[in-house]
């Protein structure tokens, strides 16, 4: 079976992504052939493409998609031909019209979840699930700081915090993104283009205490402000590096700021077993089908235009979720 998809043979700018004809084999044992109906764009895709996260080449790109099972190999029983499925934690290769992949990462889509929604939410939504339910169990009435509140993960996170009954403080750049974040559940949104000291603003909102947890996918540019926003014995959750990797720092800084904790989690680790993956997906589906969380797709591109989507994402021209249509 011949399909089109992206391959890249060296790290670099979006121009390294090459649209090629791929020759797909029949699925082997424990594999499935999935025809994609929608593919998700995530910031981690730019880390893989740029070399921030080193890969072996040649490589595919993309970790998230939805589609229909066309065939399954031996030993595959949890999905079958014709099932609508989605996945959100790889392996790499989602930027393709179809692919043969490990079947154990596939989740059957329930009624009420459309394919385009699934492609826009699996990675982002399960990320929010593990962050709020397992990395740090967010409780009602707790104050939480979430950096990059107007991004794809951030908009889901704001709605999730509101559903829990927590007090979400978000950060966003510019009035349009601030407005968008407020519309998605954050009680307060700090415009980082206007506010020099985010930590001071956080402490004013929390009556001088600071927050017990910060969720930060920005990285280098917000690292110090995030640490300074925490109360004593607070937890810094660094789950991405949109502005670049965090510089080396002395562990003594954690002591001087009040015996802080730091963790660097990833979705792959938190969905490493089939049981964990299914529980995470079910929790996400429940939030969406109940209406507590709305998945809004703010940008749609033909799959062939993925390099331009990368430019727009890195140029901060996008908000919320973006998908590709094969």
Q: Which residues of the chain have pLDDT under 70?
A: none
Using only C-alpha atoms, the chain has a radius of gyration, in whole angstroms, of 20
Please give the residue range of the domain that contains residue 61. 2-121+297-325
Verify that 48 and 87 share a domain, yes or no. yes
Q: What is the pLDDT of residue 320?
A: 84
Residue 112 is predicted with a pLDDT of 92
Residues 6 and 100 in one domain: yes
18 falls within a domain: yes
Note whether residue 47 is domain-resident. Answer: yes
Res 316: pLDDT: 87
Q: Answer yes or no: do 161 and 197 share one domain.
A: yes
CA distance 47 to 69: 29
Whether 224 and 154 map to the same domain: the answer is yes
The CA-based angle 36-39-42, given to 5 degrees, is: 155
Alpha-carbon span 154 to 181, nearest angstrom: 8
Q: Are residues 224 and 307 in the same domain?
A: no
- How high is the pLDDT of residue 185? 97
Same domain, 218 and 159: yes
Task: Return the CATH number at 214.
Answer: 3.40.50.720
pLDDT at 237: 98
**Residues 156 and 224 both lie in one domain:** yes
What dihedral do alpha carbons 261, 267, 272, 274 form, nearest 10°? 130
Is 288 contained in some domain? Answer: no
Other beta carbons less than 10 A from residue 167's beta carbon: 19
For residue 129, what are the CA distances in angstroms to 125, 204, 291?
A: 6, 28, 16
CATH number of the CATH domain containing 57 = 3.90.180.10
pLDDT tens per residue across span 151-167: 999 999 999 999 999 99
Number of structural domains in the chain: 2
179 is a domain residue: yes
Q: What is the pLDDT of residues 27-61, one digit of tens each?
A: 999 999 999 999 999 999 999 999 999 999 999 99
């Amino acid at each position: 079976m011949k399909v089109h998809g992206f391959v890249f043979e060296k790290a670099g700018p979006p121009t390294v992504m090459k649209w090629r004809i791929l020759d797909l084999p029949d699925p082997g044992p424990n594999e499935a052939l999935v025809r994609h109906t929608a593919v998700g764009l995530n910031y981690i895709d730019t880390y893989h493409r740029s070399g921030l996260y080193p890969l072996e080449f040649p490589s595919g790109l993309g970790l998230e998609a939805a589609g229909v099972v066309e065939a399954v190999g031996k030993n595959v029983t949890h999905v079958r031909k014709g099932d609508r499925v989605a996945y959100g934690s790889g392996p790499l290769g989602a930027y393709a019209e179809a692919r043969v992949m490990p079947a154990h990462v596939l989740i059957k889509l329930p009624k009420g979840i459309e394919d385009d929604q699934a492609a826009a939410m699996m990675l982002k939504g399960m990320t929010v699930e593990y962050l709020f339910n397992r990395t740090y169990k967010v409780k009602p009435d707790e104050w939480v700081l979430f950096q990059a509140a107007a991004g794809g993960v951030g908009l889901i996170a704001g709605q999730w915090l509101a559903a829990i009954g927590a007090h979400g403080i978000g950060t966003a750049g510019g009035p349009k993104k601030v407005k968008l974040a407020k519309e998605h559940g954050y009680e307060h949104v700090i415009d980082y283009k206007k506010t020099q000291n985010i930590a001071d603003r956080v402490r004013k909102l929390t009556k001088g205490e600071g927050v017990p947890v910060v969720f930060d996918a920005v990285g280098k540019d917000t690292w110090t402000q995030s640490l300074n926003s925490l109360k004593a014995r607070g937890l810094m959750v660094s789950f991405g590096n949109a502005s670049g990797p965090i510089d080396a720092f002395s562990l003594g800084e954690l002591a001087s700021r009040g015996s802080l904790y730091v963790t660097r989690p990833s979705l792959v680790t938190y969905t490493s077993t089939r049981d964990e993956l299914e529980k995470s997906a079910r929790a996400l589906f429940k939030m969406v089908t109940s209406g507590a969380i709305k998945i809004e797709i703010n940008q749609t591109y033909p799959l062939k235009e993925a390099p331009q989507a990368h430019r727009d994402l890195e140029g901060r021209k996008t908000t919320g979720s973006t998908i590709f249509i094969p």
